[in-house]
Amino acid sequence: MTAGPVAPSDHAAVVLRPLAFDAVRFDGGFWGRRQQVNREVSIPGAVQRLREAGNLDNLRMAAEGVTGSYRGPVFMDSDVYKVLEALAWEQGRAPAAHLVDAIGELAALVRSAQSPDGYLNSYVQVTRGGADRYADLVMGHELYCLGHLLQAAVAAHRVSPNDELWSAALAAADHLTVAFADNDAVEGHPIVEMALVELYRETGTTAYLDLASQFVYVRGRGQLRGHGREPSYFSDRVPVREATSVEGHAVRAMYLAAGAADIVAEGRDDASQGLATALRRQWQHMVRTKTYVTGGLGSRWDGEAFGDPYELPPDRAYAETCAAIGSVQWAWRMLLATGDAAFADLIERTLFNGFAAGVSRTGDEYFYVNALQVRADAAPQDHRSPALGRHGWFDVACCPPNIMRTLASLHSHLATSDLSGVQIHQYGSATISHPWADGTIELRMHTDYPWSGEVTVEVRRSPDAEWTLSLRVPRWCQDASVTVNEVGPAPARSGVRLTRRWRYGDQVRLDLPMPPRLTEADPHVDAVRGCVAVERGPLVYCVEQVDQPAGPLVDDLVITASTLTDEWREDLLGGVVAVHLQTRAGAALAVPYCLWANRGPGAMRIWLPCSPELRRDH
Ligand code: FUB
Ligand code: ZN
């Protein structure tokens, strides 16, 4: 049995356990196709980008002990590690010689660049000959890079072992346990926390867990400031246990929260469960007041940061793709710890919207910033601006390889198990196979989700024992029903739990009606007060100018009727359900936000002004 990205230890305080990495396989469908494009286009393209952008040259110079012409931001190594992680998961999904070759090449380079004592950072090695390590904990990103190295190595160790990568990670982690033994230093960009926990889970070495806990607990003393930033930017203003909300740089905040959730799971909370309670409080506050309808996080370009509660302007949204990924990582850990479907709801919203929008249909262009509105005459703030459309790569290229490693392991987020049976949290065309009692639970999920809400789970194998099949009913669905072997439909409001001695051929049909709907903006969000968003099932829709050739201008659009009609459009964006709207200036067409800007840049908006009688509060 091979584990996926998160594998709580046997004694971890979790109520749900992830299935093995190879227990779930997408069979085509929305995510299956995205995985395929990721494998065939994005990841090979990324390896090439690493060559062109200088990431590999930096490591090569470090290996050769050359000082000089380092290229790119200080965290260029992290992109190499993220690509390595994506390659490893892909190799675990479907082995191929070219994947092994690429892992081998990159891993050998990484190992050769590492100092004999385990230290590794091509920026420090190439620009100052390896001197003054950790001299700039605020912005140096040395631990951030090593965190990504550990994650890549754990992925490979689990599904596609590579000795050089594994040795590099162990040497780096051992070096960290010495370099940071019993001190209160903390780095500006979290990630090493969750990476160390995962390495602990893989090796059983408690020193890694100790160090991860240390990093979580020393944070919040206001030590991190400089480079024009205050401690809040680094989530260092108050201890994690005391924080009531997430703040500052959104990706940093998400990675820290995910690491803290890992610490809790591995028994490093205090007796009063202060950290667990704080994380839950912060998450709820974030979802209520700081999360875009797309699941996107971060409303300030300045500092790529969370704003104040309800500060969620659609046009100024930053909503970095990496922040959406971090949010999924945190919510997944919270779901395992609590079993609360609210976490799976946010994962679904984020994956289908704020995350999926981050990469083009063709898999070769990306968004770093995921605004919810772009005006026709928008002046781009800089190269990241969505007004300019998608880009093949970025000078700061954190998002593309982050998307790649996430897609390559995405099926790991579909289902879990506990002592009662199997829980399906996300829907998609997939096969699930999980050892149970003296046999195997094998399920085949047939669905055209997210275009259709009909999900059929067919039992292909079952042990001769009772077990429970649980299915999440998404919060957006009002009239869910379930039918078991032609018996039903029975209403299914807050989730389905079916316990029985299952037999080959049993069928459970979950109906999640998904008529298009108008969602009113929270009136606290001044920027969109009185506006509505079109949603259908888990998808948030947007209006793009390209779809209104003779219709309203996106900037002027006002919805005049709550009647929405949906239509399967084979000819549009590879096949989508489009939604027809009525506006003051005539009919308009909305398409899934996750597919916007696949026909070039242009005006787009999610939140739509509407005539007053459409509002419940009018
Ligand atoms: O600092 C490393 C990465 O670069 C962050 O996670 C992103 O937000 C970008 O600033
Ligand atoms: Zn990013």
The per-residue pLDDT for range 268-310, each reduced to its tens digit, is 998 889 999 999 999 999 999 999 999 999 999 999 999 999 9
Q: Which atom of ligand 1 is nearest to the CA of 189?
A: 1
Task: Check residue 130 and give left, alpha or beta (phi > 0: left; psi -120 to 50: alpha).
Answer: left
CA–CA gap between residue 38 and residue 359 (Å, rounded): 9
First to last CA, the chain: 57
Distance 71 CA to ligand 2 centre (A): 18
Q: How far is the CA of 506 from the centre of ligand 1 (A)?
A: 48
Residue 297: phi, psi to the nearest 5?
A: -130, 140
- Kindly give the distance from the C-alpha atom of residue 300 to the centroid of ligand 2, in angstroms, as a whole number: 14
Please give the Cα distance from 148 to 79 (Å, whole number).
8
Q: Which atom of ligand 1 is nearest to the CA of 250?
A: 8
Q: Half-sphere exposure of residue 82, counting CA atoms within 13 Å on the CB side?
A: 27
In three-state secondary structure terms, 532 is: strand
Residue 617 pLDDT more than 70? no
Q: Is the dihedral of CA 251, 370, 426, 598 positive or negative?
A: negative
Q: Tokens representing 139?
A: 């912005």
Provide mean pLDDT across the span 10-39.
98
Residue type, 62: A
- Which atom of ligand 1 lies nearest, measured to the CA of 252? 6
Ligand closest to 145 (CA) is 1
Instruction: Identify the band that residue 68 occupies on the pLDDT scale cut at 50, 70 and 90.
Output: confident
Closest listed ligand to the CA of 301:
1
Name the closest-CA residue to atom 4, ligand 1. 398
Going by alpha carbons, the residue nearest to atom 9 of ligand 1 is: 398
- The binding-site residues of ligand 1, defined as CB within 6 angstroms of any ligand atom, are 75, 189, 251, 304, 320, 322, 396, 398
pLDDT of residue 223 exceeding 70, the answer is: yes
Residue to mutate (ligand 1; options 82, 189, 192, 403; most atoms within 8 A of CB): 189
State how far the alpha carbon of 351 is from the alpha carbons of 133, 358, 595, in Å.
37, 10, 13
Characterize the bridge pairing of strands 517-520 and 531-536: antiparallel
71, pLDDT greater than 70: yes
Distance 75 CA to ligand 1 centre (A): 9
Alpha carbon distance 257, 290 (integer Å): 15
75 CA closest ligand 1 atom index: 2
Q: Which protein residue's CA is at the shortest distance from atom 1 of ligand 1?
A: 189
Query: 413 to each of 6, 22, 373, 417, how far by Cα in Å?
Result: 10, 12, 29, 12
Q: How far apart are CA 618 and CA 604, in angstroms?
A: 26
Q: Interior CA angle at 382 toward 380 and 387, to 5°?
A: 35
Q: Please identify, by atom number, the ligand 1 atom nearest to the C-alpha of residue 255.
A: 6
Cα separation, 340 vs 439, in Å, equals 28
Catalytic residue among 198, 247, 322, 398: 398
Q: Is the pLDDT of residue 323 over 70?
A: yes
Ligand 1 midpoint to CA 255 (Å): 11
Reply yes or no on whether 544 is catalytic.
no
Averaged over 338-349, what is the pLDDT? Answer: 98
Instruction: Look at the block and give the residue holding tokens 């909370």.
Output: 269
C-alpha of residue 301 to centroid of ligand 2, in Å: 13
pLDDT exceeds cutoff 50 at 525: yes
Contacts of residue 120, defined as CB under 8 A and 6 or more positions apart, other chains included, come to 62, 77, 110, 113, 114, 145, 146, 149, 168, 172
Residue in 55, 304, 368 to alter for ligand 1 test, most ligand atoms within 8 A of Cβ: 304
- DSSP 3-state assignment of 328? helix
pLDDT confidence band for 618 (50 / 70 / 90): very low
Task: For residue 88, give the nearest of 177, 9, 198 by alpha carbon.
Answer: 198
The mean predicted confidence, pLDDT, of the chain is 97
Pick 103 or 67 by higher pLDDT: 103
pLDDT tens for each residue of 416-452: 999 999 999 999 999 999 999 999 999 999 999 999 9
Q: What gap in Å lies between CA 276 and CA 269, rounded to an integer?
A: 7
User: Which single residue is written with the structure tokens 């995910």?
Assistant: 258
Q: Among 361, 271, 369, 263, which Cα is nearest to 314's?
A: 369
Q: In this structure, which residue's CA is closest to atom 3 in ligand 1?
A: 398
Does residue 101 surpass a pLDDT of 60?
Answer: yes
- Which residue from 151, 233, 249 has its CB within 8 A of the most atoms of ligand 1, so it is best to mutate? 249
Q: Do 114 and 168 contact (CB within 8 A), yes or no?
A: yes
How many Å lie between the centroid of ligand 1 and the Cα of residue 141? Answer: 9
pLDDT in tens, 547-603: 999 888 999 999 999 999 999 999 999 999 999 999 999 999 999 999 999 999 999
Which of 55, 74, 75 has the most ligand 1 atoms within 8 A of CB, as the residue to mutate?
75
**Tokens linked to 165:** 């990568």
Res 298: pLDDT? 98
Centroid of ligand 2 to alpha carbon of 442 (angstroms): 37
**Shortest-distance atom of ligand 1 to CA 251:** 6
Q: Which ligand is nearest to the CA of 359?
A: 2
Which residue has the CA at smallest separation from atom 8 of ligand 1?
A: 251
Ligand nearest 78 Cα, by number? 1
Gap between the Cα atoms of 543 and 587, Å rounded: 11
**Cα 90 to ligand 2 centroid, rounded to whole Å:** 21
Question: How many A from CA of 420 to the centre of ligand 2?
Answer: 38
Mutate to test the pocket of ligand 1, among 322, 367, 370, 383 (most ligand atoms within 8 A of CB): 322
- Residue 325 CA: which ligand is closest? 2
**163-179 vs 142-159: helix axis angle to the nearest 10?**
140
* Bridge partners, 98 (sequence order): none
- Give the ligand at the shortest distance from the Cα of 254: 1
Is 202 labeled as catalytic in the residue annotation? no
Q: For the chain, give the percent of residues with pLDDT over 70.
A: 99
Q: Which of 304, 348, 365, 544 is catalytic?
A: 304
Question: Distance between CA atoms of 55 and 429, rounded to whole angstroms?
Answer: 37
